[in-house]
Amino acid sequence: MRRITWRIPALLVVMALILAACGGDSDDTTTTEAAATTETTAADTVTETTMAEETTTTSMADVTGLACDEPVTVGVVTDLTGPLAIYGAHINRGVPIGFAYATGGEVGSGLEQSYMVDDCEIRVIFKDDQSNPELTATAGRELIEIEGADIIIGTVSSGATASLQSLAIENNIILIAAPAAATDITGKDFNENTFRASRNNYQDAMAICEQFVNGDGYQTFVQIAPDYSFGYGGAAGYKDACTFAGGEFIADDVFAPADTTDFTSYLEPLADTDADAFLVTWAGGGFVPLLQGALDLGVVDEDTVLGSPFVDNIVMPAFFANAIGSTASIIYHYTAADNAINDYLIEKDAELGAFPDLFDADGMNAAIMVVEAIRATNGAVDADSLRAALEGMSFEGPKGTIEIRAEDHVAVQDMYIVKLLNVDDPEFKYYEYVGTVRPEPPCLLEGDFTSRCGSLPTGSLSGS
């Protein structure tokens, strides 16, 4: 694989954008022109596919007999108009497509939708939280107290998702986190009513660090992260995974307050380290002055490169035009996944005038997961019944097989290594597929929940 060498400022912005999509909090105020961009070109569907691991997947509508006395209500909280709306749009598309696939119905539209599983109705109600934890909490309470939500899916921001975690345990309902990535959601902040449909940032780190060290040849690292839970989790994941892959961190991690505007004092300790790569975990508007400070102090120069996972379709041309020929990891791309459910997602997104993007698969997986659980409980939606169905569940989605670990509710799933060929294809066919990775992170539960880890590896991968 070709070594990825980033030597321009734009890549720090990209790193911040992808992390913001997975870890923003109420301080997130950054907007981009891309947030107003829509995808309007119709898709060419893939005509030949193979099922992941030769597993045959059928629509849940092929099974009959489910009935429920009252409709099941599913609340979806996502960012439709806020700073992370570019990513909320993926969930807004993916969730209805997932329910349509899992029920054999039509893809719904609007803020209130209805799907039938045999004789059981599923009401799906969308709420916009603008990636603001206070609005997230308000939306969650309205869904529970007014709409009678039995299950909640959401949200984009990890900080905002923490609000939903609290509501889920207080009201004894099930939360399916998607696409928020902070490790703490199913780690330090674990509760028995929170499950993932999406990956966490520890899985991101494992995929990326393997590529950085053994694919691209980076050996020494330094990093900076925001001084709150998302930053701690992201930095710990990168440090552990890159060390385990064979890399070395040659300076202490630096943590700066999330509202920092002058990074000089935080970056000075890294200025003369001569690391191969400078890793940045950040969310919100601070990445712009952070970048300028790194350039001014020489933290980023000809001797220190930047590596980054590839990001969403819309942002790629703006920031990766100089990186043609490079190889990196990506959470999901519709040209990398190869199975019949991914083909369905491509087809239905095309009918909406779009192409599947970075988190469309997460939205679809969350909906499939809900329907699978309701079928497994024969329509029961109390937390105890759903929890028993979800723990240890395995199902097929557009990324292939998703396995929900019973111990910590982490969703083990495929991620992809791809080579960047272009950034101007009208159908976003930017990549050549290189390979698939399936990171299985350690169990990171703490306190009274530690014993749940059972036989899973715990703590640090590297043993440090």
**Residue whose C-alpha is closest to residue 11's, from 313, 419, 300, 429:** 300
Same domain, 88 and 195: yes
pLDDT at 112 over 60: yes
Same domain, 138 and 16: no
Which of 295, 330, 365 terminates a domain? The answer is: 330
Place of tokens 């980054």: 308
pLDDT for 123-160, tens place per residue? 999 999 999 999 999 999 999 999 999 999 999 988 89
Same domain, 78 and 169: yes
Same domain, 192 and 322: no
**Residue whose C-alpha is closest to residue 99's, from 147, 57, 60, 128:** 60
pLDDT mean over 368-391:
97
Q: In this prediction, what percent of the chain has a pLDDT beyond 70?
A: 83
Domain-embedded: residue 441: no
Same domain, 251 and 105: no
Least confident of 40-54, 163-177, 194-208: 40-54
Higher pLDDT, 421 or 47: 421
Least confident of 79-88, 258-267, 304-313, 431-440: 304-313
Domain-embedded: residue 181: yes
Higher pLDDT, 193 or 307: 193
Least confident of 283-292, 336-345, 363-372: 283-292
pLDDT for 21-35, tens place per residue? 445 544 443 333 333
Summary mean pLDDT of the chain: 85
Q: What's the pLDDT band for 463 if we cut at 50, 70, 90?
A: low
pLDDT mean over 269-285:
82
Structure tokens at 33: 């022109």
Same domain, 90 and 143: yes
Query: What pLDDT is stored for residue 132 in this prediction?
Result: 94
Query: What pLDDT is stored for residue 44 in this prediction?
Result: 40
- The 3-state DSSP class for residue 351 equals helix
Query: What pLDDT is stored for residue 445 in this prediction?
Result: 96
**Contact by Cβ (8 Å): 200, 185:** yes
Which of 314, 330, 346 terminates a domain? The answer is: 330
Query: What pLDDT is stored for residue 334 in this prediction?
Result: 98
pLDDT for 296-315, tens place per residue? 998 877 777 666 778 899 98
Higher pLDDT, 294 or 379: 379
Element (H, E) at 447: none
Same domain, 374 and 227: no
pLDDT for 32-61, tens place per residue? 333 333 343 333 433 333 333 333 344 444
Same domain, 93 and 16: no
What domain count does the chain have?
A: 2
Higher pLDDT, 48 or 74: 74
Q: What's the pLDDT band for 179 if we cut at 50, 70, 90?
A: very high
Domain around 319: 10-30+202-330
Least confident of 1-10, 82-91, 358-367: 1-10
Higher pLDDT, 288 or 8: 288
Domain-embedded: residue 403: yes
Domain-embedded: residue 219: yes
pLDDT at 196 over 80: yes
Same domain, 157 and 237: no
Same domain, 191 and 76: yes
Higher pLDDT, 60 or 228: 228
Alpha-carbon distance of 140 to 77, in angstroms, equals: 7
Query: What pLDDT is stored for residue 245 in this prediction?
Result: 93
pLDDT for 424-434, tens place per residue? 999 999 999 99
Domain-embedded: residue 297: yes
Same domain, 317 and 372: no
Alpha-carbon distance of 373 to 294, in angstroms, equals: 48
Query: What pLDDT is stored for residue 428 in this prediction?
Result: 98
**Residue whose C-alpha is closest to residue 137's, from 126, 129, 145, 147:** 129
Same domain, 326 and 345: no
Q: In this prediction, what percent of the chain has a pLDDT beyond 90?
A: 65
pLDDT at 7 over 50: no
Which of 273, 296, 330 terminates a domain? The answer is: 330
Check which CATH number belongs to the domain holding 216 and give it: 3.40.50.2300
Domain-embedded: residue 425: no
Domain-embedded: residue 394: yes
Compute CA 286 distance to the chain's CA centroid, rounded to the nearest angstrom.
Answer: 21
Query: What pLDDT is stored for residue 448 in this prediction?
Result: 95
Alpha-carbon distance of 273 to 255, in angstroms, equals: 17
Query: What pLDDT is stored for residue 228 in this prediction?
Result: 76
Query: What pLDDT is stored for residue 307 in this prediction?
Result: 66
Domain-embedded: residue 161: yes
pLDDT mean over 89-94:
98
pLDDT at 400 over 90: yes
Structure tokens at 288: 């712009």
pLDDT mean over 430-445:
96
**Contact by Cβ (8 Å): 260, 266:** yes
Alpha-carbon distance of 20 to 27, in angstroms, equals: 11
